[in-house]
Structure 1
Amino acid sequence: MKRLLAFLLVATSALHAVDLTLTSPLDYQVVQRSSPGKGLIRIAGELSEAVSLPDITMEARVVGEKDQTSWQRVGGSVSGKKLSGAVEAPAGGWWRLEVRLSQGGKQLALGSVAHVGIGEVFVIAGQSNSANHGQEKQMTKTRRVASFDGKAWRIADDPQPGASGGGGSLVPAFADAVVAKENVPVGILACGIGATSVREWLPKGATFPNPPTLVSRVEQLPNGQWASKGAAYEAFIARMKSAGPLGFRAVLWHQGESDANQKDTTRTLSGKLYRECLEKILRDSRRDIGWSAPWFVAQASYHVPGDEGSDDIRAAQASLWKDGLAFEGPDSDALKGKLRERDGKGVHFSGEGLRVHGSKWAEKVLPWLAKQWTEPRQTNDGTEWSDFAQLPECHSLGWVSANVQTKDTRSWNGVLDEAKWGTPDPQQVVSRNWDWKVSEAQWREAVKQKGEGRREEVRFDLWLPKDLQTARGIVVMSGHGSGEGLFKRADLRKLAQELGLALFKFTGNPMQRGFWPQSLLFEHLRQFGKKSAHPELQHAPLFLYGHSNGTGFSAIFTSYVPDRVWGWVSMRPGTTFQVYQPGAAQVPGLVIFGEDDPFLARPSKDENLAVVPALRKNHHALWNIAVEPKTGHGPGEKTWPLVLSFLRHTFTARVPADADAKSGPVKFNALTLESGHLGQNWQTKPGGYQKLLTAPFAEFTGDKSTASWLLNADYAKDWQQFQSTGEVQPKK
């Protein structure tokens, strides 16, 4: 815990010192990362007295020797004496975590925790060779390894807190190897107990026929059976729960010597019963901690020279790997001679043996760990791949806007009806013009002059339907806002299965609000095509989806490469003027607003809703708008059937049935204004659901130049139903 001294305005409006005690994170705590490049730090604390102030802002940042993040808003609250929240931070450390409270731009409190790591956390359990019974105490060389005893964290020099014994352990050698390979701190939750049988680790009340050699943790029942008292299991569960859901990477289990070849043969456990006991511990522990934690199980049955292993116990341990219940740990029985204590005469490891033992664990865990981010996964009747990249901020739309965008607006013919909305100031004019016409050469020159900027992680996800032979197209989603959930929707995946489409999503600030250059996406599609054995992904037709400022992807990307996009959606654009993209005019587009979205009201609903009609009039855009009543910035369940209808109809209309992207980019079917339908645009004054006129282009009696352009009769029907009742019936 770290005490922070703050000057806060309290309820009495007097200015005086208030103490703040942070209870999370703790000094030297390691937080399990959620991806290669980041993790979530949970912040908690208590003030010495209640604070009652409006609009208190809580922010945090992490500072390292050579780098630091900017201040980020902490998602949480300050209420009375309590402070809580969470903030994402980059993998690495040790970081100094700084937390500040402010009101109205004035800093009221500032404090820090000196050492916080975002890295890998492991639980190590079993008997003495998982604990501190080695011949020589070991020290971590990297000094980026910490251990937790249930109350406090410290640098993980032996003996390890939380485990039995006062000697050496495998932890420093194992964890240092992980640090060296992954370049992140490592946290250890050690809870091994010397001389324990697997029977002693069973949940309370679990029975078995014959007792272990030591019986303090078990008891005999009246019927002659034996049962575990459950103490070791309960401590094991408590230690795992202390890390929280998904709070550690894996359990490393090293145990078996006290079940194999006991001097009193009646205390020896058969391989069959060993397997049953360990499987119960494994399954019950996963249930009790609330998630399916991975396990590694070592082969461990060695005692001394002449008693160098039990084939029965070793086979039982290996059976857990073969049946997919656990991963293969090291064969510690093979570590003999000088690697054992007392010149090879003992069961525990010598100093050299501990170092070798730790390295053997690393040899098993590290290759598996590397695959956690990129191995394909079977899900939703298909296969999913993920990849990660550290990309500089120069790729982001905001960076391009600040450093490359031309400020000349004289040639822009967008929405500036000053009679309706007043004369905008110069900054408003610039911010409204998103038709930049920026070239890749201009962007590269700006990067050369101004530098790339800070790097941040971007995650890419691909899903392919089961048994897909050739991807006929790709639905590409910015993960900003609702794109994350859309990627996982069962109805979208069902439609993708039907049409033979891949789904692709990216999340991370350098890309998710829009990015430069467009080749960045094509390069990652090429890489995923290679991984998935679908090289056609590099050239497949695209359908784009962006929510809020993700419109900076869906609309602007389309304007630069319209020949690669068959359709696009802007969901609740955060800045509607991002949509004003003449280069995308001939690509079917759908812009969906929420009637009660505060972004729609800035600067006014009428001006925002006029952007698409203006582009329809000025550039004959093949676009339509829809307004969803009684909804805000996020889409609801009623929204998706219209999106999927638009996706289906644009794909069928634009992508030739015999198109094959294996030989290169697909040439789309041509569309004309006259081939579609038109729909009367939603009006702000009546609001709510509206029965809007639709008709074939030639028969439409309204203003054909500004009405929503609807692809065909079927889509026009769905669009009209969406505007009148919100109840578009999904296709079966």
Structure 2
Amino acid sequence: MFYALPVISKGWYLCEILVNGVVYTANKFGVGDVFIIAEQSNAQGVKDEQYKLPAGSGIPEWVVGASEDKTCTKKLPESFTNMFPLNTADDAKRHGPLGPTGNSIWAYGVLGKLISDANGGMPVAFFNAATGGSSVTEWKQGADGVEAKHPYTGAQVCLGHNGGSVIPKDYYGQPYTALKTALNYYGSLYGVRAVLWHQGEADADANVDPVYKASSAADYQAKLQAVIAKSRSDFAAPNLTWYICKATISKFGPINATIRTGQGNTPTGSTVLPGAETDYVSGSAGATTVSDGGDEYRKDSTHFYEGTGQIKGLTWLAGKWAATIGALSNPVAASYVPLLMYSKNNDWRTLTAPSGGVQYHWNPSHINNPGVAGGTTSVFTTDKNWLFGIRCYMKDAIGNWHVSPTISVGQYSNQRKGMNISDAKESEQPGFELNAYPNPFTKKLHRYIRCCR
């Protein structure tokens, strides 16, 4: 068994594993920043293949997201197999899910390029946990784990989604659940630079029953601060950065000064910061993003749109976010990767994960599939072949997930191999190498290899 524990500067890399000078496997990986998106449909994106999105040309391949839909579920992501570059020309993916609950790539390919360019070509990942039409009250109730009624249906959010349960309690925690899952899984595995919050349209809508929305600027501020505090507690990251937009315009009403005041008062220091101002074209006064003289920022007076005229609403939105984010600081680092120990007793192999977890799930595919028999503790013993690999998913006491490397276990008479290499003799030591090619960076790479026989 071989472990590589590199210390690598930010950049986009090609990692090759060589056996006796021949490439055995190769993968690209990035060291950069991760953003998690939260709130309404102008953050979630529009699920419509006819909806015009920014072109992917010019967006580097190291701006990525996850193509998976976990809307209204408590399932964990399957990010290892579903990551994709946001410059894709595949229209189904461009207008498809941006996990865990996003509806399209929206403005995030362009935003990722702007952030990457401003930071020397750094890779950027986005994970979208927004919920269309949601109010700040709904998010506060979800964070509290109680009933959260959607302002436009009057029913528990997610109730009966895609033919699912019609029991309200089955969805308690939504819409906050998606944010919590994104933090506990993506955030733990990859780290988090910031949460991007774009919400306010539902609370500003005069047609929404007051019981479903913030009653004052102070009420909006208090509820959003409670959601921020809960996210930090659930992720065990007291300095998790949040950016708070000013956003109130929709087809149901003009700018709402009360909600904007609540949004503006929420940022209180270096880790809760002002986000993009999306009600006004420039600054906090003057022309709005609806009163545009005929050219379109928004397709339907609500959702930003990559219009056919000079105004490109989604590109504009990305630029507003990028200008706000500016110099990045205070990231939450990725957590540890469980290193598995290996032992052999005759034909039985034992894999041992670190102790201290509250849940273990050994699986050859992904976390939402049934685990293998006997794979619910830190120790997994088998006499079977796992030639395509098996990994351990480990949940810690906080609720954060840690995922081990995939380990290929090959069972052969009188021999054990850390990797499945045919026709090798027990006494042979394959010549393993690890090459990493930085692109676009040429930085230091420290390599530490541990070999267990």
TM-score (norm 2): 0.55
Q: What is the letter of the counterpart of residue 142 of structure 1?
A: I
Shift of 1:356: 0.4
**Could you tell me how far apart the structure 1 residues matched to 2:322 and 2:83 are?**
22
Shift of 1:259: 1.4
Partner residue in 2 for 1:188: 126
Partner residue in 1 for 2:334: none
- Partner residue of 1:349 out of 304, 315, 322: 304
Q: Please say which structure displays the higher CA radius of gyration.
A: 1
Partner residue in 1 for 2:9: 90
SS at match of 2:176: helix
Partner residue in 1 for 2:318: 358
Partner residue in 2 for 1:302: 249
Q: Find out whether 1:340 has 2:297 as its counterpart.
A: yes
- Partner residue of 2:264 out of 303, 318, 325: 318
Partner residue in 2 for 1:212: 151
CA contact (8 A) 2:10 2:31 kept: yes
**Could you tell me how far apart the structure 2 residues matched to 1:297 and 1:177 are?**
19
> Structure 1 residues 100, 231: closer, same or farther in 2, change over 3 A?
farther
Deviation track 1:582-613 (CA, whole Å, cap 9, x = no partner) reads: xxxxxxxxxxxxxxxxxxxxxxxxxxxxxxxx
> Structure 1 residues 365, 323: closer, same or farther in 2, change over 3 A?
closer
**Could you tell me how far apart the structure 1 residues matched to 2:326 and 2:245 are?**
15
**Could you tell me how far apart the structure 2 residues matched to 1:234 and 1:324 are?**
26
Q: What is the letter of the counterpart of residue 59 of structure 2?
A: T
Partner residue in 1 for 2:111: 174
Shift of 1:164: 5.1
> Structure 1 residues 279, 173: closer, same or farther in 2, change over 3 A?
same
> Structure 1 residues 213, 128: closer, same or farther in 2, change over 3 A?
same
> Structure 1 residues 236, 113: closer, same or farther in 2, change over 3 A?
farther
Which 5+ residue runs of structure 2 have no aligned equivalent? 69-76, 88-93, 159-168, 282-288, 307-311, 332-440, 447-453
Partner residue in 2 for 1:254: 198
Q: What is the letter of the counterpart of residue 201 of structure 1?
A: W
Deviation track 1:554-598 (CA, whole Å, cap 9, x = no partner) reads: xxxxxxxxxxxxxxxxxxxxxxxxxxxxxxxxxxxxxxxxxxxxx
Shift of 1:96: 1.6
TM-score (norm 1): 0.35
> Structure 1 residues 241, 211: closer, same or farther in 2, change over 3 A?
closer
**Could you tell me how far apart the structure 2 residues matched to 1:252 and 1:339 are?**
24
**Could you tell me how far apart the structure 1 residues matched to 2:270 and 2:156 are?**
30
Partner residue in 2 for 1:706: none
Identity of aligned residues (%): 21
Shift of 1:110: 5.5
**Could you tell me how far apart the structure 2 residues matched to 1:316 and 1:238 are?**
26
> Structure 1 residues 139, 289: closer, same or farther in 2, change over 3 A?
farther
SS at match of 1:318: helix
Q: Find out whether 1:115 has 2:115 as its counterpart.
A: no
Q: What is the letter of the counterpart of residue 183 of structure 2?
A: M
Partner residue in 2 for 1:714: none
Q: How does 1:125-524 map to 2 (within 5 A)?
A: 125-133=38-46, 135-140=51-56, 141-143=58-60, 144-148=62-66, 149=68, 150-151=77-78, 152-157=82-87, 158-159=94-95, 160-162=97-99, 166=103, 169-182=106-119, 183-202=121-140, 203=142, 205=144, 212-217=151-156, 229-245=172-188, 247-266=191-210, 267-270=212-215, 271-291=217-237, 292-304=239-251, 307-322=253-268, 326-335=272-281, 336=289, 337=292, 338-342=295-299, 345-351=300-306, 352-367=312-327, 369=328, 456=443
**Could you tell me how far apart the structure 2 residues matched to 1:296 and 1:247 are?**
17
**Could you tell me how far apart the structure 2 residues matched to 1:353 and 1:170 are?**
9
Shift of 1:124: 1.2
SS at match of 1:309: coil
**Could you tell me how far apart the structure 2 residues matched to 1:286 and 1:249 are?**
13
Deviation track 1:30-59 (CA, whole Å, cap 9, x = no partner) reads: xxxxxxxxxxxxxxxxxxxxxxxxxx554x
Q: What is the letter of the counterpart of residue 218 of structure 2?
A: K
Q: What is the letter of the counterpart of residue 282 of structure 1?
A: I
CA contact (8 A) 1:99 1:110 kept: yes
Shift of 1:313: 0.9
SS at match of 1:303: coil
CA contact (8 A) 2:194 2:243 kept: yes
> Structure 1 residues 236, 372: closer, same or farther in 2, change over 3 A?
closer
Q: What is the letter of the counterpart of residue 130 of structure 1?
A: A
Shift of 1:217: 3.4
Which 5+ residue runs of structure 1 have no aligned equivalent? 1-55, 59-73, 75-85, 102-106, 220-225, 374-453, 458-507, 510-732
**Could you tell me how far apart the structure 2 residues matched to 1:244 and 1:161 are?**
16
Q: What is the letter of the counterpart of residue 235 of structure 1?
A: A
SS at match of 1:193: coil
> Structure 1 residues 208, 325: closer, same or farther in 2, change over 3 A?
farther
CA contact (8 A) 2:17 2:24 kept: yes
Shift of 1:274: 1.8
C-alpha RMSD of the superposition: 3.4
> Structure 1 residues 244, 111: closer, same or farther in 2, change over 3 A?
farther
Deviation track 1:506-526 (CA, whole Å, cap 9, x = no partner) reads: xx99xxxxxxxxxxxxxxxxx
CA contact (8 A) 2:35 2:196 kept: yes
Of structures 1 and 2, the one with the larger relative CO (CA 8 A, separation 6+) is: 2
**By percentage of residues, which structure has more helix?**
1
Shift of 1:100: 5.3
> Structure 1 residues 207, 301: closer, same or farther in 2, change over 3 A?
farther
Q: How does 1:76-87 map to 2 (within 5 A)?
A: 86-87=5-6
Q: What is the letter of the counterpart of residue 84 of structure 2?
A: R
Q: How many residues align?
A: 282
SS at match of 1:259: helix
> Structure 1 residues 139, 237: closer, same or farther in 2, change over 3 A?
farther
Partner residue in 2 for 1:383: none
CA contact (8 A) 1:174 1:361 kept: yes
CA contact (8 A) 1:191 1:236 kept: yes
CA contact (8 A) 2:198 2:247 kept: yes
Deviation track 1:65-92 (CA, whole Å, cap 9, x = no partner) reads: xxxxxxxxx2xxxxxxxxxxx3222321
Deviation track 1:440-460 (CA, whole Å, cap 9, x = no partner) reads: xxxxxxxxxxxxxx9646xxx
